[in-house]
Amino acid sequence: MIAAVLLPAAALAEEDSSCKGLPSYAALKAALDQATATETSGLNNQMWATIVNRDGIVCAVAFSGVNRAAQWPGSRVISAQKANTGNAFSLDRSSSSNGSGQPKGLALSTANLYSAVNPGGSLYGLQHSNPVDPAVAYAGRPEKYGTANDPMVGNRIGGVNVFGGGLALYAPGEIVVGGLGVSGDTSCADHNIAWRVRHNLFLDYLAGVLGPASFFAADATHPDNIIYDITPNPGGGTGNSASGFGHPTCLNTGDQHALPPVRSP
């Protein structure tokens, strides 16, 4: 029996065409540094970020601090999980054919999934599907984590995350090309920073794409933005979201309306 082998990240970065057209490690690092410095909501922590392609293969992993211990170590894998989720549950107009699909596309951020996956929600249990592959998440030497040679690069991470920080990446033409995940702070700040990273990378061409905020917050300029519409449940337990796509507020939540609007094709 031949054991599965994780290919070296450096070799995959040069030889695997699956990440061509997506931001490099250097581009992701620069975009993350700028976004983290701009967004000061939440705990104002340093952050991890991951990009995956449309097949869920990790293309880049970066952190914003001076070393890998300057941000929560556990957030490295969470950022990858969020990237996978943002990609896995968003569509573009190519989904529409033979009378089915989404003619304008449908963008769902991980923040949009929170209420739907809680007990009584229409997607209850979704977070238990598509688990993270631990052989990918924890492979290699830790000193490579968050570098151009992160061992996750070139491998499929999997995972489903259901709080703020994960977004689909839309290239010009409103085409989904992958996902971005950011983690390291409150889930609300994670969403805001991820939004800014995507904008900095010029992969937010989704002005014509629909999303929960288009329908329930009357905000077509931020279609997959986080929605704060949860009210306490009189019976206890999980609160009630008026839209079904709501997310809880956080410590020092910040202003989601101050995020840059998405770009037109």
Structural domain boundaries in the chain: 23-258
Q: Given a cut of 90, is residue 10 above it in pLDDT?
A: no
Give the model's pLDDT for residue 7. Answer: 42
Give the model's pLDDT for residue 250. Answer: 97
Q: Given a cut of 70, is residue 15 above it in pLDDT?
A: no
Stretch among 3-7, 38-42, 75-79, 139-143 having the lowest mean pLDDT: 3-7
Give the model's pLDDT for residue 262. Answer: 98
131 DSSP 8-state letter: -
Q: What is the mean pLDDT of residues 14-33?
A: 87
Per-residue tokens: 1: 């029996």
Q: What is the mean pLDDT of residues 165-184?
A: 98
Q: Closest Cα to residue 85, out of 183, 196, 165?
A: 165
Percent of the chain whose pLDDT exceeds 90: 86
Per-residue tokens: 150: 């992160």
Give the model's pLDDT for residue 6. Answer: 44
Q: From 3.30.70.1230, 3.30.450.150, 3.40.640.10, 2.30.29.30, which CATH number describes the 23-258 domain? A: 3.30.450.150
Strands 230-231 and 175-183: unpaired
pTM score > 0.85 for this model?
yes
How far is Cα 18 from Cα 51, in angstroms, rounded to an integer? 12
Q: Given a cut of 90, is residue 104 above it in pLDDT?
A: yes
Give the model's pLDDT for residue 17. Answer: 58
Write down the mean pLDDT value for the chain. Answer: 93
Give the model's pLDDT for residue 185. Answer: 98
Give the model's pLDDT for residue 119. Answer: 86
Question: Residue 57 forms beta bridges with which residues?
Answer: 156
243 DSSP 8-state letter: S
Q: Where are the beta strands (DSSP E) in the chain?
A: 48-53, 58-63, 166-171, 175-183, 230-231, 240-241
Residues 6, 24, 76: CA angle, nearest 5 degrees: 55
Q: What is the mean pLDDT of residues 203-213?
A: 97
How far is Cα 220 from Cα 85, in angstroms, rounded to an integer? 22
* Environment class of 100 (CB within 10 Å of its CB; exposed 0-12, middle 13-18, buried 19+): exposed
